[in-house]
């Protein structure tokens, strides 16, 4: 079998572990040949690739980022490229393509699969918002980074009697905010799924100071928004890939809380530090299992499918179903996290 692998969309700790696992399982156990396309879908559309053998993936298990490079592609560009991709797949004699990516990549993968290409998807994203899988690799690493930052911010916040507003990633969902906020014992967690009321939030933080506490930590997901009509708020529009541009909710909340509480508030935007660096052991294992199962699915001819973690097992689910909706934080999970102060 000849297999092509690519990484697309925002990078994520564990991508290299998937690539390595695909190559090991395919080359060592099946005698396959593997090629890696450069910079995501661009590499497939332009037939820009290199051979991946065991030497090419040596030493990459613990390395963050992706040795293949990644990029975002405009959906319209990809729609126009289905024919071209099909041509390259035929010319290169590929029997399977394994795209590793998040929401946008999986939608593109589904489009190509529906166009007849032999696709087996692997989900990735630090945001953990892919509905068909219990967890995506990268999430555990990101939560670890955010939790460590929150722990560190507590000591400096306390020294200066400040409110720290820590903005974490999470475009549509608040999984990183919820988990890091719970792990670090944050005093308020703000997620996109539950639009906030600034007066309510200021009340929660203010009560803490009134109770004699010397600092407060607020974790906010980048996609969080105020409840309509509760605060002036300007949307940031969308970028060329159709992604929403955020208005900088961490900065906004810090200003609003400082004004209402008369306490110094500092915004801390964790940003891409959550995506960089070495994956945790959990993410390396999950990524390795996804790679292994993607190769097996390709050998069974299960195309148009995606690897997914269900409980402790890896299952294959239809790509078309995986892209139907996002996995948001359920109200019960959010409510559980409210026992704070
Ligand atoms: O989708 C993962 C994610 O990390 C989002 O949480 C974040 O908004 C986005 O990627 C940032 O992407 P970029 O690298 O394009 O700035």
Count of Cβ atoms closer than 10 Å to residue 122 Cβ: 31
Q: How many domains does the chain have?
A: 2
Please provide the average confidence, as pLDDT, over all residues in the chain: 95
Spatial CA neighbour of 300 closest among 315, 310, 311, 312: 315
Residue 240: what pLDDT?
Answer: 74
The torsion angles phi and psi of 107, rounded to 5 degrees, stand at: -65, -45
Q: Which two tokens stand for residue 243?
A: 């992604």
Q: Does a structural domain hold residue 218?
A: yes
Kindly report the length of the chain.
Answer: 341
Residue 245: what pLDDT?
Answer: 82
Mean pLDDT confidence for 262-282: 98
Same domain, 55 and 25: yes
> For the purposes of burial, counting CB atoms within 10 Å of the CB of 190, is it exposed (0-12), middle (13-18) or buried (19 or more)?
buried
Same domain, 147 and 40: no
- Please tell me if the CB atom of residue 283 comes closer than 6 angstroms to any atom of ligand 1: no
Question: Do residues 218 and 253 make contact, with C-beta atoms less than 8 angstroms apart?
Answer: yes
Of 7, 8, 10, the residue with max ligand 1 atoms within 8 A of its CB, to mutate for a pocket test, comes to: 10
Residue 74: what pLDDT?
Answer: 76
Q: Does a structural domain hold residue 14?
A: yes
pLDDT score of 124 more than 50: yes
CATH number of the domain residue 207 falls in: 3.40.50.460
Buried b (16+ CB within 10 A) or exposed e, 226-258: beeeebeeeeeeeeeeeeeebeebbebbbebbb
pLDDT score of 178 more than 70: yes
Same domain, 232 and 261: yes
What does the alpha-carbon distance between residue 134 and residue 142 come to, in Å, rounded to a whole number?
16
pLDDT score of 131 more than 90: yes
Question: Do residues 143 and 279 make contact, with C-beta atoms less than 8 angstroms apart?
Answer: no
- Please tell me if the CB atom of residue 171 comes closer than 6 angstroms to any atom of ligand 1: yes
Mutual angle of helices 198-210 and 249-261, in 10-degree steps: 50
Query: What is the Cα Rg of the chain in Å?
Result: 22
Residue 340: what pLDDT?
Answer: 58
Question: Do residues 286 and 297 make contact, with C-beta atoms less than 8 angstroms apart?
Answer: no
Beta strand pairing call for 2-7 and 216-221: unpaired
Boundary (domain end) residue, out of 242, 258, 275: 275
Buried b (16+ CB within 10 A) or exposed e, 158-183: eeeebbbbbbbbbbbbbbbbbbbbbe
Mean pLDDT confidence for 131-156: 98
- Please tell me if the CB atom of residue 20 comes closer than 6 angstroms to any atom of ligand 1: no
Contacts of 7 (CB under 8 A, 6+ apart): 15, 18, 19, 40, 66, 68, 69, 70, 99, 100, 101, 124
Same domain, 253 and 162: yes
Q: Which residue would you say has higher pLDDT here, 241 or 300? A: 300
Q: Does a structural domain hold residue 339?
A: no
Same domain, 208 and 129: no
pLDDT score of 79 more than 80: no
Q: What is the pLDDT of residues 23-78, one digit of tens each?
A: 999 999 999 999 999 999 999 999 999 999 999 999 999 999 999 999 887 767 77
Rounded to the nearest angstrom, the distance between the alpha carbon of 29 and the centre of ligand 1 is: 35
Whole domain around residue 237: which residue ranges? 142-275
Rounded to the nearest angstrom, the distance between the alpha carbon of 169 and the centre of ligand 1 is: 7
Rounded to the nearest angstrom, the distance between the alpha carbon of 25 and the centre of ligand 1 is: 30
CATH number of the domain residue 133 falls in: 3.40.50.450
| Band of pLDDT at residue 341, cut at 50, 70 and 90 | very low
From the list 11, 32, 39, 127, the catalytic residue is 127
What does the alpha-carbon distance between residue 316 and residue 306 come to, in Å, rounded to a whole number?
5
Same domain, 265 and 159: yes
Q: Does a structural domain hold residue 85?
A: yes
* CA dihedral (33, 38, 39, 41) positive or negative: negative
Same domain, 16 and 88: yes
Same domain, 125 and 203: no
Highest-confidence segment of 77-81, 96-100, 321-325: 96-100
Same domain, 157 and 132: no
pLDDT score of 177 more than 50: yes
Q: Does a structural domain hold residue 297?
A: yes
Boundary (domain end) residue, out of 216, 245, 275: 275
Residue 179: what pLDDT?
Answer: 98
Q: Does a structural domain hold residue 335?
A: no
Q: Does a structural domain hold residue 50?
A: yes
Collapsing DSSP states into helix, strand and coil, what is residue 15? helix
Residue 279: what pLDDT?
Answer: 98
Mean pLDDT confidence for 94-123: 96
Question: Do residues 322 and 105 make contact, with C-beta atoms less than 8 angstroms apart?
Answer: no
pLDDT score of 80 more than 70: yes
| Percent of the chain clearing pLDDT 70 (strictly above) | 99
Q: Does a structural domain hold residue 329?
A: no
Spatial CA neighbour of 275 closest among 13, 68, 34, 29: 13
245 labeled part of a ligand binding site? no
Same domain, 261 and 291: no
Same domain, 81 and 169: no
127 in active site: yes
Same domain, 127 and 159: no
What does the alpha-carbon distance between residue 117 and residue 85 come to, in Å, rounded to a whole number?
8
203 labeled part of a ligand binding site? no
């Amino acid at each position: 079998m000849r297999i092509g692998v690519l990484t697309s969309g925002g990078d994520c700790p564990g991508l290299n572990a998937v690539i390595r696992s695909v190559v090991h399982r395919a080359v060592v156990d099946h005698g396959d040949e593997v090629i890696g396309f450069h910079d995501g879908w661009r590499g497939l559309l332009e037939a820009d690739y290199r051979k991946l053998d065991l030497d090419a993936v040596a030493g990459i298990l613990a390395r963050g980022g992706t040795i293949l490079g990644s990029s975002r592609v405009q959906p319209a560009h990809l729609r126009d490229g289905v024919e071209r991709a099909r041509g390259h797949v035929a010319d290169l004699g590929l029997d399977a393509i394994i795209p590793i990516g998040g929401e946008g990549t999986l939608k593109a993968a589904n489009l190509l699969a529906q166009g007849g290409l032999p696709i087996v998807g692997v989900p990735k994203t630090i945001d953990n918002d892919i509905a068909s899988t219990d967890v995506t690799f990268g999430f555990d690493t990101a939560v670890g980074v955010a939790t460590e930052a929150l722990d560190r911010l507590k000591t400096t916040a306390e020294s200066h009697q400040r409110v720290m507003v820590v903005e974490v990633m999470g475009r549509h969902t608040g999984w990183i905010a919820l988990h890091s906020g719970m792990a670090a014992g944050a005093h308020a967690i703000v997620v996109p799924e539950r639009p906030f009321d600034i007066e309510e939030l200021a009340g929660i933080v203010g009560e803490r100071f009134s109770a004699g506490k010397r600092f407060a930590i607020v974790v906010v997901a980048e996609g969080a928004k105020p409840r309509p009509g509760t605060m002036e708020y300007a949307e940031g529009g969308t970028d060329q890939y159709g992604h929403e541009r955020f208005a900088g909710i961490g900065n906004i909340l810090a200003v609003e809380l400082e004004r209402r509480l008369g306490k110094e508030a500092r915004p801390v935007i964790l940003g891409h530090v959550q995506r960089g660096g070495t994956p945790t052991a959990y993410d390396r294992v999950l990524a390795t299992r996804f790679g292994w199962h993607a190769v097996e699915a390709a050998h069974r001819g299960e195309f148009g499918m995606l690897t997914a973690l269900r409980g402790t097992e890896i299952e294959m689910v239809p790509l078309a179903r995986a892209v139907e909706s996002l996995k948001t934080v359920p109200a019960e999970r959010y409510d559980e996290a409210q026992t704070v102060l």
